[in-house]
Each structure stands twice: as structure tokens, then as C-alpha cells.
Amino acid sequence: MTYKKGDRIALVHTTDPHTELKPGDEGTVQRFDASLCMLSVRWDSGSTLSMLLDDGDEVTAV
């Protein structure tokens, strides 16, 4: 899937054991790097954790 700045997404799963984000948390896409499958997100909670979509992180459109 391709994402663009401003898209709203929700977290399905992350492999980051240190984040406080939970499934269902929502955020706004800041940038999508297709070559790295990296999604930069500004989460509504204030987190800026990026999603590594090829490494097990999973999001869905809202």
C-alpha cells in the first residue's frame, strides 16, 4: 500500500517492545519511504515512532 502525507492510520501491531503505543492508536502520516517501507507517523498520543512495514509493524487506514 502507498501512503501520503496527511493520511490517517491506526496501529494494528508493532514489534517495538519499548513503545507505549497500543493497537487502535491513531496517527497522521508525515512521510512514506517506499524504498525502506518506512512510515513516519505523528501519533495522536504525541509519539513520533516510525513504522517499519517490512519488519513486522502493521497499520490500517482509518
Q: Rounded to 5 degrees, what are φ and ψ at 38?
A: -110, 130
Going along the chain from its start, the domains and CATH numbers come out as: 8-61 (2.30.30)
In tens digits, the chain (62 residues) has pLDDT values of 789 999 999 999 999 999 999 999 999 999 999 999 999 999 999 999 999 999 999 999 99
What is the pLDDT, as a whole number, of residue 59? 98
What is the pLDDT, as a whole number, of residue 2? 87
What is the pLDDT, as a whole number, of residue 25? 98
Tell me, yes or no, if the pTM score tops 0.85: yes
What is the pLDDT, as a whole number, of residue 37? 94
* Three-state DSSP string of 4-62: CCCCEEEEEECCCCCCCCCCCCEEEEEEEECCCCEEEEEECCCCCCCEEHHHCCEEEEC
